[in-house]
Chain A
């Protein structure tokens, strides 16, 4: 799970993902959701899942205990990318797919900033796919919220890289022949150190994942299933219906056997001879190789296998944290090299140091 700084004197440790970011003064008035709400009118379609996510984020941010000026949201293009306008923090609404690169520049040069990226399935996985995978492999200390509605909303209803095969959209009147990405599998394959999935309508679960993601030092990828009521309504209906969801949602709990289904029809995930994972009735799992979830496993194979339980039919949908491991971050590494070079040289460069650089090694004088 997420690493924390060592505790001192029994005082609760600061999550490492927030280390280096100034805290609110201990006697400062308690922050509220209202302070994180900007004066801009929210302009998503009625019933859009983005409203619920916005409310959850606005409600969660005070928990961080950070000053508003030390939080920055960067987004790309798409419905979800309007997000920064509605938060009273620093924010940048950039261009299509490129937010991770901008966030990398900001996070690396400003360790005092808590940097978030808000993106969608088209923005992150299609036009911005390259930046997403490289942010994940570098492990920059940023949190990426990927709103996945399996459709292009802002351009009015074309299929996306997560749309299902056969899906009829404005640009696929005969059904899509494109095979979709599984964002969690993709992230794990890109060496991500924190990968989780949650959904727009489960406020409590969403908030818990946001907390864990923010506390993680490194790139956190959070896939949020988000309903687009206009162009892809009901895409996640099977896991929102109370009875259906119990049979389908696999709640990933660190250190626990992976299970699904109601009490009277509980199934346990086991590893079959040959390595294939399979749900078997809980009672018959005795003596079998039961899969116990381990978010901190160095080897991502099991997390990857769990991500493959997904299918377009949503027979089984894992939710929660797939992976959370501690690995040196890119921005810490980059800063450490600069800091070491400066301190080895005896402090910030003076005019004399600059003069020495400009002269180089080989000079001659003309009198």
Chain B
């Protein structure tokens, strides 16, 4: 039995870092699952290179996974890790700047050879040159202990034994933070069931890591983090991409329509394609197209046929799909375009996050081409946002942009799984009979005769007798839909399409959170900045200041009360992971001098930095 002490903590941020091939994402995922099972609230941030295997041991090849968990509500993956697990010199060097003094660093000393150190520019070994003395360093020969622990596995090569070192690290960390490993054991059993020796080796390494913590004097105590108080319900941990895929499936289920995805692989959106392609049982059809354009073409063709057509992509893909989005605007057919944003322009930063496609979504087409825009605020909120995108698309027969981003896509958090019976009914009525009379008094179908309330045109799907009609990208005459080059008609149709989108109903007013009621400064965000903004605002309030905050789900159209809200504060600050795109829209729409705070580092905002920014603005308005 262990005689070690157990300390209670309220929150911890751990970052696992290693080479791309070291299995850090898997280690992080497993630790996250164990933590979720403990009932802590949590938030994760995977960070990996675009290259599948960059040269081993180099800075570009470092992959990391950060997890923030606590006994209270967690809003971000955390600014500064309390613990860094560095599997090699590159992982240490790449991450050290983020590690605050006094933090714990667990170092795999086996990998700190002269050659490996030199590869990343270390002339001295930082483990023993004193440069890390302000940290709490645990030098652990992780690789060799793992290999020794697996000595009995004669059928495995040294390389194969070394590969289990991530499980050793996971075992050690699981002991440190008293996480149950049963879930990981079950996971390994499923993953390696066909290879009993590899399975047993991984389980042995996991236990060896746990035992190492328990028996080695180097680790004086372990830690407990009590479960967070969360609303009652059934929870699971979920990433943004999976939540988004499930939101689409749920919406199609509630609409009683098939879901058809046309897509082309692109980081960081591909996981949505992967997830949906496995859900055929839910009447989901996925087609991997020859390019981005064909992906959206397939989706639009399916929408014409009465399915919920969806295409998933990232910024560069949106650029290619623009013309087809314009066609969907003109045809007035439902379509959901999912843009999981990443750093741009061009190929940019494929695996890093950014919010810089807002203006592309808003304006990136020829002509007056309004498209509604919906953005999720957290990984699990991707479910709700996807559901809302489908609602708008089917109700208003319009393409809808769903703007997620790399941070939401790969990040995860606990999600209170909704009851299906609580999901709104999204059933739509297809047109079934003629809706007009021609010059000769005969009944005819007018494909562009609009619903007076929504301005939506009828969705008349092929196969419906008597409603045969032709639609196209050439301007159509109001009501009849026939080709029309008439100036007044074009002016009217352009304004009708704009009015239809501007008039989308069911968009809730933006809700301002201002606990004291005395705030003169409003911090307004959209999309994935929700967590960092909420955490920063919380910190500023805890320091005794008054600050209001609000977050936008709908970027087009804006909530009806937004202008009034903006005008009721002395100052509005808009933090964005771009160079001020929402700020530009707000200024243009409301003539309010909002103050952008921008960053495009490929990473979410740091709570501390954001709190500083808010404090600076508070000083200026006081």
Q: Shortest distance in angstroms between A55's beta carbon and chain B's nearest beta carbon?
A: 18
Which residues of A are found within 8 Å of B230, using beta-carbon distances? 366
In the complex, A366→B299 CA distance in Å?
A: 39
Contact between chains at A102 and B304 (CB < 8 Å):
yes
- Contact code string B31-69 (vs A, CB < 8 Å = 1, else 0): 001001101000000000000000000000000000000
CB < 8 Å neighbour of B281 from A72, A77, A345:
A345
Name the residue in B37, B299, B463 with the highest tally of chain A Cβ atoms < 10 Å from its Cβ.
Answer: B463
Q: A349-B281, A365-B234 are in contact. Are A131 and B299 (CB under 8 A)?
A: no
Which residues of A are found within 8 Å of B483, using beta-carbon distances? 40, 85
Answer yes or no: B300 CB below 8 A from chain A CBs: yes
Which residues of B are found within 8 Å of A358, using beta-carbon distances? 246, 250, 417-418, 420
Contact between chains at A93 and B473 (CB < 8 Å):
yes
Name the residue in B238, B299, B468 with the highest tally of chain A Cβ atoms < 10 Å from its Cβ.
Answer: B468
Which residues of A are found within 8 Å of B462, using beta-carbon distances? 69-70, 72, 90, 106, 110, 113
Q: Shortest distance in angstroms between B461's beta carbon and chain A's nearest beta carbon?
A: 8
Which residues of B are found within 8 Å of A342, using beta-carbon distances? 280-281, 283
In the complex, A102→B230 CA distance in Å?
A: 46
Contact between chains at A357 and B291 (CB < 8 Å):
no
Answer yes or no: B139 CB below 8 A from chain A CBs: no
Answer yes or no: A94 CB below 8 A from chain B CBs: yes
> Which of A316-367 touch B at CB < 8 Å?
334-335, 337-338, 340-342, 344-345, 348-349, 351-355, 357-360, 362-367
Which residues of A are found within 8 Å of B466, using beta-carbon distances? 69
Contact between chains at A362 and B237 (CB < 8 Å):
yes
Answer yes or no: B235 CB below 8 A from chain A CBs: yes
Answer yes or no: A134 CB below 8 A from chain B CBs: yes
In the complex, A282→B175 CA distance in Å?
A: 90
Which residues of B are found within 8 Å of A84, using beta-carbon distances? 470, 472
CB < 8 Å neighbour of A105 from B282, B290, B297, B420:
B297
- Contact code string A15-37 (vs B, CB < 8 Å = 1, else 0): 00000000000000000000000
Contact between chains at A105 and B232 (CB < 8 Å):
no
Which residues of B are found within 8 Å of A96, using beta-carbon distances? 323
Contact between chains at A348 and B467 (CB < 8 Å):
no
Contact between chains at B465 and A69 (CB < 8 Å):
yes
Which residues of A are found within 8 Å of B297, using beta-carbon distances? 94, 98, 100-102, 104-105, 131
Which residues of B are found within 8 Å of A341, using beta-carbon distances? 280-281
Which residues of A are found within 8 Å of B260, using beta-carbon distances? 105, 108-109
Answer yes or no: B150 CB below 8 A from chain A CBs: no
- Contact code string A71-100 (vs B, CB < 8 Å = 1, else 0): 010100100000011011111111110101
CB < 8 Å neighbour of B331 from A70, A72, A92, A348:
A92
Name the residue in A100, A362, A365, A367 with the highest tally of chain B Cβ atoms < 10 Å from its Cβ.
Answer: A362
Answer yes or no: B515 CB below 8 A from chain A CBs: no
Which residues of A are found within 8 Å of B421, using beta-carbon distances? 351
- Contact code string A184-218 (vs B, CB < 8 Å = 1, else 0): 00000000000000000000000000000000000
Contact between chains at A94 and B309 (CB < 8 Å):
no
Answer yes or no: B249 CB below 8 A from chain A CBs: yes
Number of A-B contacts (CB under 8 A): 210
Answer yes or no: B231 CB below 8 A from chain A CBs: yes
Which residues of B are found within 8 Å of A254, using beta-carbon distances? none
- Contact code string A98-127 (vs B, CB < 8 Å = 1, else 0): 101111111111101100000000000000
- Contact code string A253-274 (vs B, CB < 8 Å = 1, else 0): 0000000000000000000000
Contact between chains at B420 and A101 (CB < 8 Å):
no
Q: A93-B474, A113-B305, A358-B417 are in contact. Are A365 and B233 (CB under 8 A)?
A: yes
Contact between chains at A366 and B235 (CB < 8 Å):
yes
Contact between chains at A109 and B305 (CB < 8 Å):
yes
Contact between chains at B301 and A101 (CB < 8 Å):
yes
Q: Shortest distance in angstroms between B473's beta carbon and chain A's nearest beta carbon?
A: 6
- In the complex, the chain B residue whose C-beta lies closest to that of A365 is B234
Contact between chains at B293 and A101 (CB < 8 Å):
yes
Q: Shortest distance in angstroms between A329's beta carbon and chain B's nearest beta carbon?
A: 13
- In the complex, the chain A residue whose C-beta lies closest to that of B291 is A130
In the complex, A296→B470 CA distance in Å?
A: 36
Q: Shortest distance in angstroms between A105's beta carbon and chain B's nearest beta carbon?
A: 3
Answer yes or no: B575 CB below 8 A from chain A CBs: no
Answer yes or no: B302 CB below 8 A from chain A CBs: yes
Q: Shortest distance in angstroms between A132's beta carbon and chain B's nearest beta carbon?
A: 10
* Interface size counted on chain B using CB atoms at 8 A: 73
> Which of B325-348 touch A at CB < 8 Å?
326-327, 331
In the complex, A341→B508 CA distance in Å?
A: 38
Which residues of A are found within 8 Å of B541, using beta-carbon distances? none
Contact between chains at B300 and A105 (CB < 8 Å):
yes
In the complex, A363→B232 CA distance in Å?
A: 13
Q: A69-B466, A90-B468, A365-B234 are in contact. Are A357 and B282 (CB under 8 A)?
A: yes
In the complex, A43→B514 CA distance in Å?
A: 63
In the complex, A102→B285 CA distance in Å?
A: 15
Contact between chains at A74 and B301 (CB < 8 Å):
yes
* Interface size counted on chain A using CB atoms at 8 A: 64
Contact between chains at B231 and A355 (CB < 8 Å):
no
Name the residue in B300, B462, B471 with the highest tally of chain A Cβ atoms < 10 Å from its Cβ.
Answer: B462
Q: Shortest distance in angstroms between A343's beta carbon and chain B's nearest beta carbon?
A: 10
Contact between chains at A106 and B472 (CB < 8 Å):
no
- In the complex, the chain A residue whose C-beta lies closest to that of B416 is A366
> Which of A2-19 touch B at CB < 8 Å?
none
Q: A101-B294, A106-B305, A109-B307 are in contact. Are A360 and B282 (CB under 8 A)?
A: no
- Contact code string B299-323 (vs A, CB < 8 Å = 1, else 0): 1111111110100000000000001
Answer yes or no: B289 CB below 8 A from chain A CBs: yes
Q: Shortest distance in angstroms between A228's beta carbon and chain B's nearest beta carbon?
A: 21
Contact between chains at A363 and B235 (CB < 8 Å):
yes
Answer yes or no: A164 CB below 8 A from chain B CBs: no
Which residues of A are found within 8 Å of B300, using beta-carbon distances? 94, 102, 105
Answer yes or no: A301 CB below 8 A from chain B CBs: no
Q: A70-B463, A92-B304, A134-B294 are in contact. Are A360 and B236 (CB under 8 A)?
A: yes
Q: A68-B468, A363-B236, A364-B235 are in contact. Are A109 and B258 (CB under 8 A)?
A: yes
Answer yes or no: B606 CB below 8 A from chain A CBs: no
Contact between chains at B463 and A69 (CB < 8 Å):
yes
Which residues of B are found within 8 Å of A112, using beta-carbon distances? 463
Which residues of A are found within 8 Å of B39, using beta-carbon distances? 364, 366
Contact between chains at A130 and B294 (CB < 8 Å):
yes
Q: A109-B258, A342-B280, A366-B235 are in contact. Are A354 and B420 (CB under 8 A)?
A: yes
Which residues of B are found within 8 Å of A109, using beta-carbon distances? 258, 260, 285, 301-302, 305-307
Which residues of A are found within 8 Å of B428, using beta-carbon distances? none
In the complex, A69→B234 CA distance in Å?
A: 47
Q: A67-B465, A98-B297 are in contact. Are A359 and B234 (CB under 8 A)?
A: yes
In the complex, A93→B472 CA distance in Å?
A: 4
Which residues of A are found within 8 Å of B470, using beta-carbon distances? 38, 40, 84-85, 87, 90-93
- In the complex, the chain A residue whose C-beta lies closest to that of B33 is A362
Which residues of B are found within 8 Å of A340, using beta-carbon distances? 280
> Which of B257-313 touch A at CB < 8 Å?
258, 260, 262, 279-285, 287, 289-291, 293-307, 309
Which residues of B are found within 8 Å of A110, using beta-carbon distances? 305-306, 462-463
Q: A69-B462, A101-B294, A131-B294 are in contact. Are A353 and B281 (CB under 8 A)?
A: yes
23 contacts between A and B (CB under 8 A): A69-B468, A92-B304, A101-B297, A102-B304, A103-B301, A104-B289, A105-B298, A105-B301, A106-B302, A106-B305, A107-B301, A109-B285, A113-B463, A131-B297, A134-B290, A334-B285, A335-B285, A352-B420, A362-B237, A364-B36, A364-B37, A365-B235, A366-B232
Chain B interface (Cβ < 8 Å from any Cβ of A): 33, 36-37, 39, 183, 230-238, 246, 249-250, 253, 258, 260, 262, 279-285, 287, 289-291, 293-307, 309, 323-324, 326-327, 331, 417-421, 462-474, 482-483
Chain A interface (Cβ < 8 Å from any Cβ of B): 38, 40, 67-70, 72, 74, 77, 84-85, 87-96, 98, 100-110, 112-113, 130-131, 134, 334-335, 337-338, 340-342, 344-345, 348-349, 351-355, 357-360, 362-367
Nearest 8 interchain pairs by C-beta: A105-B301, A101-B297, A93-B472, A105-B298, A341-B280, A101-B294, A91-B470, A102-B301
